[in-house]
Structure 1
Amino acid sequence: MMLHFRPQGRWVGDLIPFFWRGEYHLFYLPRAPEGRHCWGHIVSRNLLDWEELPDAIEPSDDSDAPDAVGCWTGSVIEHEGIFHCFYTGFNPQKPFPQTICHATSDDLIHWQKDHANPILVPDERWYEPHDWRDPFVFFNSEAGEFWMLICARDKRVAFERRGCVALATSRDLQEWRVRKPLWSGSICWAAECPDMFCLGNRWYLLYSHGITRYRCSEKLNGIWFASFPDTFDTEFVAAAKTLFDGKRQILFGWVGTLEGENDFGHRQWGGHMALPRELVPQPDGSLSVKLPDEFIKWHLENSSPLHLKGCKPLCGAWAIEGTRAVAVSFNGASVLRCEVPADFFLSATVVPEGEAVEFGFLLRMQGDKGHKFVIDKTRVALMRWSSWGDGEPKVSRPLRWHANEPFKVHLIVHGSIVEIFVGDRASLACRIYEPPCGWLGLYASNGKAIFHDAMITSLQPLP
């Protein structure tokens, strides 16, 4: 069981998911000095237990090769019994430092690079020469051809934010033709790690620039609209990409470390794998996020009730009966202190009643230190707790709810990683380092909230 995968001695970067015959294959970029990335490889049949496989794609030994200094993000596709890997070759000594390279395999483990590499370079009629990476390939059944989406910069845009999603097309995965940009939004430097899929009767285009965003269209050549919010999570689920397993579209990203293992440190490239997120389309075209059923089933099979009667009310009014705790405080906060392991998976149903302003959880509380998960009428947020009062959140996500609406909350605190899933609608991930352990608090502010059916699972330490 491996909730947040990290290879021994390495860190997980960009994930490249691929589903084949009941197996979830995740290729990934280990954090490497000077960008000399290879493709790591893990596989699972249940999203819970991961087997490490040999590295799939490695930089060439030939210093003149297009991938001599790194094999960066790309994608995998199967066609006529052969697996095709399209990846970014990096060599800063070349006129085009980032190029599209190709390799093939018959077992997803042993790969043969294409002698024609690089197979695709920027067409300078439309694109700048230095940003040309992260190829995502899929078969466009409407057009009867393969499409490749590429992170690029549109040289026709006068504004510095020239990030775009370039398009190339092919009939056979061998001969490619570069086209004009599929999407050029003038909102970022580079639209990294593009991804595309169809759910229901809508197409979704994903891209990343610090945080993963998405656009929606009813047609591939139509207008791409932004939802609110147009993100799936925080910047701590980085460079997220998806696979379809025949039933669900599942999102994979990584949780970056913070410099110096300090809550105030800069976010670094690479870390642990985040928990997968299932994407659920809504009637308005937006996508909600839920924790896949595999994790909930495992949690319930390995959990025990959180004994609320053993918890200690610290302030406000509490009524506790069995697995049900009711906080009532119309003029301030109610806090219930519960002793929990340092690493745990908690599920609970929460019902805010009437005009409750906010409710949530206090995490790893020690003296004047700790953290606070807030769910109010507009958002879910994580902030450092202080006896002086609340400050600005570290991370937050928009979330709207109605009085008396039950929420199923799944809260995972695992080493320095925290992730919360709220009502099968929103998720939020972050890093917290201090304190390393402490008590858990249930709380509500200026209103009434019911916490019931709380179940908790103790977790093994974060690798």
Structure 2
Amino acid sequence: MKEFFYRPENAWVGDVIPYYEDQEFKLFYLHGWRENYREGLDNGWHLITTNDFCNYREYGAINVLGGTGHVIKVGLIYHLFYCIFPEGKQLVCHAIGTDLMNWTPIPEDTFSADNEIYEMSDWRDPFVFWNEEDGQYWMLLAAMAKGPSNRKGCVALLTSPDLRKWSYREPLYAPNIHVGAHECPEMFRMGEWWYLVYSNYTDRFATFYRMSRSANGPWITPKFDTFDGRAYYAAKSASDGQKRYLFGWNPTKNDDLFGWNPPKYVGKDYDTWDWGGNLVVHEIIQRPDGTLAVKVPDSVNKAFAVEQPLHLEWITGTWTSSSLEYACESPYAFAASLSQEDLPDRCKVSMEIRFSEHTQGTGIMLRAGRGLDFAYYIALEPQRNRVTFRGPIMQSEDGGKTFPYEVELERPIELLPDQDYKLQIFIDGSICEIYVNGEVAMSARMYDIERGKLGLFVSQGNAQFKQVKVETIRG
């Protein structure tokens, strides 16, 4: 069965370069063949288009080879900026075209970080836009600023009047936080705020954002400064003029690309994340205070609309129920219920959860067995203001002895008692996309358990579960 979250046949989606035109998103992306590559296959940038994030049209490879970059149109001419890596160097390149598939490189426009401000080691992922306030083009780059420590990761800034001759400027953002370069940088404006987005793989592994009243900064770090967790990376955004969407990838755990898999583990859930995976799109929401949140795109949510039978039975604790609503009071213990039916391989699970004060945890189990240990747990943890994802090894003695972390994945969210929290979980094979209250997203993978039931649980507290539904795609 073809995956709902886009992935090319026998390959994977890497960094996405989104562009919007003619009422559809043109999504260039780095095509990752991995072990499936063989002589004669097209590499580099490929192009797909969509207007609903559910259906994609494939156009194949464009005729330029290179790493992540950006596309901008000036008049009737498209300009493509990208990076190449000859003999270990990192160079920025420029090509032009009259359509989105055929490009003419301009070799004399290629340049490196050969200046007094930036290191030569990192110089990639160009993003270009016309800055009306400054009256010239700005280029942002993933770079390393020269300095006394290794914390040199920054967003480099260059300016140009014509997209061909670029002047080096001081870094747009150089906080000395990350040892690695600020990858896939971009800027956009919403209302009175400017936003700077970048991804990084040192200190924390995520796509971050900063905000400012000016394109020149200073750049404020919001309380919750990421769009998703560890299993979502290299995300860049584009707007259709009404809404703005974020395009990133949920990585696989198939190939041990970096050689860090635990040698004795026979499954996949606790293997290391690969580079590239499936395309995942979040819609960006701007709050009244200017901070950003993400939600599932409406078209993706509406695609899952065929309600499936659901009958829950009580496994532990005392439960009460009415139509689509379930409640449990268990202030001193763990209590759980399970569906009689197995979850479909592709589905949406949705509900609203309300918990009382002092509740330690509540949430759902995916693909659960009757023993309640062989399951994937998605938990709201009010005492720590977070939503977490735990797999089956965390419920076992082996996990307790060997797994070096408390949880696999977590996302911060303010959780208050006696309020409704809406959960939407989209399952597509091993892919799990979790949204809470239309503001928090958490991407995950589920490999080792392929079938099982839906469960509800409350740990040392009281909880109500309303409008509990399992839905599949029409047709």
TM-score (norm: length of structure 2): 0.87
**Structure 1 residue 259: deviation in Å?**
4.5
- The DSSP-based 3-state class of the residue aligned with 1:295 is helix
In 2, the alpha carbon distance for the partners of 1:174 and 1:387 equals: 59
Of 333, 346, 351, the residue aligned with 2:349 is 346
2:183 paired residue number: 192
Of 280, 286, 293, the residue aligned with 2:291 is 286
Of 132, 137, 140, the residue aligned with 1:141 is 132
Distance change (3 Å), C-alpha of 1:306 and 1:331: farther
1:296 paired residue number: 301
In 2, the alpha carbon distance for the partners of 1:393 and 1:418 equals: 16
Aligned CA-pair RMSD: 2.2
**Structure 1 residue 14: deviation in Å?**
0.7
In 1, the alpha carbon distance for the partners of 2:22 and 2:347 equals: 32
1:63 paired residue number: none
Name the aligned partner's letter for residue 125 of structure 1.
E
**Structure 1 residue 305: deviation in Å?**
5.2
1:447 paired residue number: 461
1:129 paired residue number: 120
Name the aligned partner's letter for residue 335 of structure 2.
S
1:100 paired residue number: 92
2:407 paired residue number: 393
1:357 paired residue number: 360
Quick check: 1:49 aligned with 2:41?
A: no
> Structure 2: where are the runs of 5+ without partners?
256-266
**Structure 1 residue 110: deviation in Å?**
2.1
**Structure 1 residue 48: deviation in Å?**
1.3
Quick check: 1:204 aligned with 2:207?
A: no
In 2, the alpha carbon distance for the partners of 1:273 and 1:245 equals: 18
> Structure 1: where are the runs of 5+ without partners?
60-70
2:219 paired residue number: 224
In 2, the alpha carbon distance for the partners of 1:403 and 1:152 equals: 44
- The DSSP-based 3-state class of the residue aligned with 1:267 is coil
Give per-residue Cα distances to partners, 1:193-238, cap 9 Å, x unaligned: 1011112211111111121111111111221111122111112111
Bigger drift between 242-251 and 276-285 goes to: 276-285
Name the aligned partner's letter for residue 232 of structure 1.
F
Name the aligned partner's letter for residue 295 of structure 1.
V
In 2, the alpha carbon distance for the partners of 1:419 and 1:453 equals: 19
8 Å CA contact 2:386, 2:415 repeated in 1 = no
- The DSSP-based 3-state class of the residue aligned with 1:92 is helix
Quick check: 1:82 aligned with 2:77?
A: yes
Quick check: 1:116 aligned with 2:108?
A: yes
1:313 paired residue number: 314
- The DSSP-based 3-state class of the residue aligned with 2:299 is helix
1:159 paired residue number: 149
- The DSSP-based 3-state class of the residue aligned with 2:410 is strand
Question: What pairs up with 1:27-38 in 2 under 5 angstroms?
Answer: 27-32=28-33, 38=44
In 2, the alpha carbon distance for the partners of 1:295 and 1:363 equals: 20
Of 242, 250, 262, the residue aligned with 1:255 is 250
Give per-residue Cα distances to partners, 1:110-139, cap 9 Å, x unaligned: 222224241x32132111112100000111
TM-score (norm: length of structure 1): 0.90
**Structure 1 residue 387: deviation in Å?**
5.8
Name the aligned partner's letter for residue 389 of structure 2.
L
- The DSSP-based 3-state class of the residue aligned with 2:275 is strand
Name the aligned partner's letter for residue 448 of structure 1.
N
Distance change (3 Å), C-alpha of 1:417 and 1:387: same
In 2, the alpha carbon distance for the partners of 1:387 and 1:316 equals: 21
In 2, the alpha carbon distance for the partners of 1:305 and 1:9 equals: 31
8 Å CA contact 2:115, 2:168 repeated in 1 = no
**Structure 1 residue 383: deviation in Å?**
1.0
Quick check: 1:422 aligned with 2:436?
A: yes
**Structure 1 residue 355: deviation in Å?**
3.7
- The DSSP-based 3-state class of the residue aligned with 2:274 is strand
Quick check: 1:22 aligned with 2:36?
A: no
In 2, the alpha carbon distance for the partners of 1:33 and 1:257 equals: 12
- The DSSP-based 3-state class of the residue aligned with 1:320 is strand
Question: What pairs up with 1:258-277 in 2 under 5 angstroms?
Answer: 258-259=253-254, 262-274=268-280, 276-277=281-282
**Structure 1 residue 283: deviation in Å?**
3.4
1:405 paired residue number: 419
**Structure 1 residue 244: deviation in Å?**
1.2
Q: Percent identity?
A: 34
Give per-residue Cα distances to partners, 1:390-445, cap 9 Å, x unaligned: 87110101111222211221101221111100001101011121111111111122
Name the aligned partner's letter for residue 402 of structure 1.
L
Quick check: 1:238 aligned with 2:233?
A: yes
Name the aligned partner's letter for residue 436 of structure 2.
V
In 2, the alpha carbon distance for the partners of 1:435 and 1:305 equals: 21
Bigger drift between 450-459 and 143-152 goes to: 450-459
2:260 paired residue number: none
Bigger drift between 251-260 and 225-234 goes to: 251-260
8 Å CA contact 2:93, 2:107 repeated in 1 = no
2:263 paired residue number: none
1:432 paired residue number: 446
